[in-house]
A and B are shown apart, each in its own frame.
Chain A
Amino acid sequence: MSGERVSLTIDGRAVQVPPGTLVLDAARQAGVEIPVFCSHDQLDPVAVCRICLVEVEGSRKLVPACSERVREGMVVRTDTPQVAEARKSVLEFLLINHPLDCPVCDKGGECDLQDLTYQYGPALSRLADAKMRKPKAVDLGPFIVLDEERCILCRRCTRFDHQVAQERTLVVGQRAHEALITTAEGVPYASVFSGNTIELCPVGALTSKFYRFRARPWDLVRVDEICHGCPVGCHIQLHFRANVEGARLERVVSRPFEPIDDGWLCDRGRFNYGFVQSPERIAQPLVRPLGAPRGTLVPTSWEEAFRRVVGRLQEVLATQGPQGVGFIGGGRLTNEEAYLLQRLARQVVGTENVDHRVAGEAAASLDVAPGRITDLDRAAVILVVGAHPGQSAPVVDLRIRRAAARQGALLLTLGPVDPELRVPHQFLPAAPGHLADRLEALAQSLAGGGEGVPPRVAQELHEREGLLVALWDGREAAAGRALAAFLQTWQAQGREARLLVVGDQANSRGAEAAGLRPDLLPGYRLAADPEARRQAGLAPEPAAPGLSTQAMLEHAVAGRLGFLYLVGANLVETFPDRALATAALESEAFVVVQDLFLTETARLADVVLPAAPFTARAGHLTNLEGRVQATGPRSTDPAAGLPVEAWTDGQIFEHLGEALQGRPLVAGAGELATALAAAGLGSGTFAGALPVALLHEASDGSPTPSGSGEGLVAAPLPTIHGGGGTSRFDRAYGERRPLAAVVYLNPEDAQRWGVVPGDRVGLEAGDGVVEAEVQVTRRVMAGVLGVPRGVPGLAWNRLTGAGRVRVRGRLLEEVG
């Protein structure tokens, strides 16, 4: 089919295109522009707006170019008076009831209706009657306001919601000239992809609550960026507006990049940007005055803060040696910064205690059948292990939805809680700590055995030819090993397999590749490998084997680690064992926290260093498929207008390095780039991946309650709008994001514990009690309590760190 071509002429220009091409696209190729409203290359044609009508020889009527496919010998004309009249006519129709509030419309200046009217439309209105009135400023959902009068009913928004998101919330209501955009049953449009409709809308009908009336498009300075919201790494553009106080980030829009995002963003990526200019940003370095209790922090100068950090570090080195120092974090840094941090720890301080893993995950990649996001497009089977793609890799979830709903892929999910996938799939329940068992059974089923695998699933897995793509959340080392074995079995049967690992943070994979693990040097070289160490300029033998995050925390509690340096790591909120994280921070150890906000963790520090947001730095990020992408150029710290003295993370490391060793951490940008290239992190390349042999429980911070006994096992659930930092301190976003302190129970357990949906219950774990509202759903397997992560007011990691959880009746009754 690749060679086949159809020849046609458009306005006299000959073009050859593949069969099935739309006339519209053929025209584009011929250099003939045809106006469109409803047509969009990611949506099925509906041909409702009628602006694209063209003449086709032999056809009595004008034909919509957006839905008509090319035919051999077709003769298309777009430059005739009839076509011009038709365009003008459609514009006239669209304008008769249009409010024409261009002067106050957000879309003014980038509105297709404005532009096309200017180009093709009538100059005067022939309407002598009153315009139709429709509702204005309709509150459509958490982030969107709809102006029904401006809507031209092109249905891009509803088609996006149906065809791409595979949800069916946005609908057309009423009919004829009273038709309008609304939601089914009037529910809020709370899809995590809602913001895409704003960009799809060719007019100013769908507007962002954050951007509304904030700027005119021609006043905006545009900076290309990579989204820092999660490890998908969607391409975005930041729109700044300069005003008297300085530059303000006014909105985030997509910058379509087919291999990753197809032009879509999730609402986290699109709307969680206000934090960069939050008045709650830490404005100055803070220190705990000598003798003051933890929690007391007073502002100080950078100089003084550095003096304290360096002084204490040297003391600890003198008393405990390098093993007494630990660095945690890095998943939010650029590759460059992660490398610098690694270098600071290993070369300058001489410790192997570095770990980017702050949430109990085992890995951010795995060196088995490395996959690409686009592999999902041709998948025959998609196996989701532990992951909740809609929450932690949202834009990838759109591809999963498409593959399952429109390309017939078999979709299987395996874990304690069935992710909300919106498309038909089969859930294979697997208790926390036992994902490996289920995966082993699944692997056996490929060979005909497989206890507990539903026969229908086994049969399907047996019959499906072609590619299997697995998506793993990197939790439970044993699950990773079992998954690797499963994929190898699949491959041994002559079928293709691919694996994607969803890291916990936006640059977990880059941090891992840059050597922010106790067992790895940059470039996935083993920290125990003397040759690799020699090349990295390190002693052939580490003074002591490096500690994982969990081990560092334990050592701090035990008094064996006297200096803990946390980078963008809110462990109190993200580490699965809150008690341990808190104990470590409250220990005798000297704690340095580098962050944008005074998080629960930063509050307990001895020194807090204010870090600048991503807009203030340049570098690279590595997304979940290993793609090394340049972030935007160093643009601006929008807090410049605020009295904030923040440094980028990289600047802080460089300064510390120089202060400690008397010379720069790296000789210059050239050396840094060379080092990163050597680590497999050259710009535009794909990073390596973690050897399966490094998946060992010792580095796996996810505690699994052992033994049976009464009670539920808590399973943490990622939540797109949740999080420990940027989302919580983003006032506007924080107020609107739909997040509730709700835990999830299987109906059986709800009955056993005597609770009904909506009850507020006390959840006992260890010697703590957590309060939450209960929702009952079959998505959670029996015996498991689903606990969302990163929801204010719900300390999820009190429940995951302390054995089984008991439900203590309805709280109101007990308290009341």
Chain B
Amino acid sequence: MAFEPVLTRGIGELDLTDLKVYRAQGGYQALEKALRELAPGDVVQMVTDSGLRGRGGAGFPAGKKWSFLPDDGRPRYLVCNADESEPGTFKDRLLIEHHPHQLIEGIVLAAYAVQAVQAFIYLRGEFLEGYRVLQRALAQARDAGYVGRNILGSGFDLEIVVHRGAGAYICGEETGLLSSLQGGRGEPRLKPPFPAVAGLYGMPTVVNNVETLSCVPHIVARGPEWFRSIGPETSPGPKIFSVSGHVVRPGNYELPMGVPLAELIFEHAGGLRPGRRVKAVLPGGGSSPALTADHLDVPLDFDSVAQAGSMLGSGAVMVLDDTTCIVKAAYVLARFFAAESCGQCTPCREGTSWVARILGRIEAGQGRPEDLEVLKSLPGQMAGRTICPFSDASVGFLSSTLIHFEDEYLAHIERGACQVREVRSA
């Protein structure tokens, strides 16, 4: 059975930002059905049964997260994580700019399911177009009675507020996001307590990614079994892969979870440029350890990618061909992390900048033999020892390439120059 796009269906052909168009495509029917026929708990159950796992990076089962909220009478909040800042990731932006009503419907459904009193969309600050689209769509949805007081006569109220971030990657981490949303510094905090117990303003809060929430209307409309029928048992459903790097057709590809890496690169993204070979692939954005040409048959789902030694993360597949200087790639990523650490934890704050300085020096041909020793020890000193996984993420690519491509680092240090130039000119 051929896979039909679900989340991106109609994008590029229809103006789905228009409420009428969205409705003509069956939009808001899931919401109508839920408010008419389903109790909040039924919606939670459906999402649990669907096996939907969070698309923001960690792959945590959405239904399970929703059922963690303590039932203690405190107000609850729903927050949509639209901060999409992971290098290589641009799927949420697509959904926001071209399919805002699908997201709004998903938010209202999720809020209904967990009985949230208010929802927020924490939007990456640079997404100005997305902000305008969302505001327009929200106004339409409000006018049509899908958002606001007494939604569709059900007695359920929900307001959705769009909050624009101020340009920090770390605000994508959920506790950093909540702090920023409250007006504090965007800094992750110790967990537990998890946001489900003490989130926004200390209240029980659900944080979900844009893509996660965009799946919800479809699960409600077509049923959990349908969702489960797509992709592997433990990571079911459709998934948008943001493919970038040295492929002929970079872009967003919605495919079933578990699509093999090779199929994504060669059948969907147009393969590599003539004569080029895959050198490394980051399957889950800048935070993910590199896979190599040996891993092309890995199915892209949470568990399989983890088994291969990396992570699916947000599903941002960055392809590097054999013209890529691994040291330079590591340096570019290291600079990003050195600038984006929130700076709380000693290993992360100091480690990220140290790594970047060393890599910068090696890349510039000033490496020393001892540098490799230090570089090899730093990931161990930084990973697993901080408040949030940023620190681990910052050395993912470095540690994997120190294993798979150690010779390139060595060559830089010994010869003071890059090997890859020879490949390029070959």
> A residues touching B (Cβ–Cβ < 8 Å)?
45-51, 53, 60-62, 67, 86, 89-90, 92-94, 96-97, 126-129, 132, 152-153, 155, 171-172, 174-179
Contacts and interface: CB of A to CB of B under 8 A. Distances in A.
B353 interface: yes
Contact of B190 (A46, A97, A177): A46
Contact of A89 (B340, B349, B371, B381): B381
Q: Is the interface of B mostly helix, strand, loop or mixed?
A: helix
B387 A47 contact: yes
Nearest to A63: B385
A93 B170 CA distance: 21
A67 B190 contact: yes
Contacts of B168: 175
A129 B350 CA distance: 13
A171 B351 CA distance: 23
A17 B350 CA distance: 36
Contacts of A152: 346
Given A50-B345, A50-B347, A53-B385, 17 more contacts: A45-B190, A46-B190, A48-B346, A50-B346, A86-B385, A90-B346, A93-B346, A97-B350, A126-B370, A128-B371, A129-B357, A172-B185, A176-B339, A176-B342, A176-B353, A178-B343, A179-B343
Contacts of B350: 93-94, 96-97, 177
Contacts of A153: 343-344, 346, 349
B388 to A, nearest CB: 11
Nearest to A88: B381
Contact of A90 (B340, B343, B347): B347
Given A47-B387, A53-B385, A129-B361, A176 B345 contact: no
B338 interface: yes
Contact of A50 (B343, B371, B386): B386
A153 B187 CA distance: 14
B164 interface: no
Contacts of A155: 344
B393 interface: no
B314 interface: no
Contact of A177 (B338, B371, B381, B384): B338
A62 B346 contact: no
B374 A94 contact: no
A53 B347 CA distance: 12
Contacts of B338: 176-177
A178 B168 CA distance: 14
A93 B385 CA distance: 13
Contacts of A178: 343
B68 interface: no
A130 to B, nearest CB: 8
B341 interface: yes
B352 A177 contact: yes
A35 B170 CA distance: 28
B387 A48 contact: yes
Given A129-B357, A172-B185, A89 B347 contact: yes
B189 to A, nearest CB: 8
Contacts of A96: 350, 354
Contacts of B357: 129
A787 B423 CA distance: 81
B368 A176 contact: no
Given A46-B190, A90-B346, A62 B368 contact: no
B149 to A, nearest CB: 28
Nearest to A61: B384
6 contacts: A96-B350, A128-B370, A153-B343, A174-B343, A175-B342, A176-B341
Most buried by B among A48, A62, A127: A48
Interface of B: 168, 170, 185, 189-190, 338-347, 349-354, 357-358, 361, 368, 370-371, 374, 381, 384-387
A67 B345 CA distance: 14
From A47, A93, A127, name the one whose CB has the most chain B CB atoms within 10 angstroms: A93
Nearest to A67: B190
A67 B387 CA distance: 11
Given A61-B384, A89-B381, A129 B341 contact: no
Contacts of A90: 346-347
A760 to B, nearest CB: 38
Contacts of A132: 353
Contacts of A46: 189-190, 344
B167 to A, nearest CB: 11
A503 to B, nearest CB: 40
A155 B346 CA distance: 12
Contacts of B387: 47-48
B364 to A, nearest CB: 11
Contacts of B358: 128-129
Contact of A176 (B343, B347, B374, B385): B343
A177 B361 contact: no
Given A67-B190, A126-B374, A50 B353 contact: no
Contacts of A92: 381
A421 B234 CA distance: 56
A179 B349 contact: yes
Given A45-B190, A129-B357, A132-B353, A177 B346 contact: no
B349 A47 contact: no
Contacts of A174: 343
A128 B361 contact: yes
A400 to B, nearest CB: 23
A363 to B, nearest CB: 43
A352 B393 CA distance: 80
A50 B385 contact: yes
Contacts of B349: 93, 153, 176-177, 179
Nearest to A154: B346
Most buried by A among B344, B351, B353, B357: B344
Given A128-B368, A175-B168, A49 B343 contact: no
Contact of A62 (B342, B352, B374, B385): B385
Contacts of B354: 93, 96, 127, 129
A592 to B, nearest CB: 60
Among A45, A46, A51, A67, find the residue whose CB has the most chain B CB atoms closer than 10 A. Answer: A46
A85 to B, nearest CB: 8
Contacts of A61: 384-385
Contacts of A93: 346-347, 349-351, 354, 381
Contacts of A86: 381, 385
B343 A177 contact: yes
A86 B352 CA distance: 17
Interface centre among A96, A128, A132 (most CB of B within 10 A): A128
A128 B367 CA distance: 10
Contacts of A48: 344-346, 387
A96 B346 CA distance: 11
Nearest to A69: B192
B83 to A, nearest CB: 15
B318 to A, nearest CB: 23
B188 to A, nearest CB: 10
A783 B385 CA distance: 60
Chain A to chain B: the 10 pairs with minimum beta-carbon distance, closest first:
A179-B343, A93-B350, A177-B353, A89-B381, A176-B341, A61-B384, A129-B357, A48-B344, A175-B343, A176-B343
A176 B381 contact: no
A256 B408 CA distance: 58
A175 B358 CA distance: 20
Contacts of B351: 93
B169 to A, nearest CB: 10
Contacts of A50: 345-347, 385-386
Given A126-B370, A129-B357, A172 B343 contact: yes
Given A128-B370, A152-B346, A176 B340 contact: yes
A174 B353 CA distance: 14
Nearest to B343: A179
A94 B346 contact: yes
A632 to B, nearest CB: 39
Contacts of B170: 175
B263 to A, nearest CB: 34
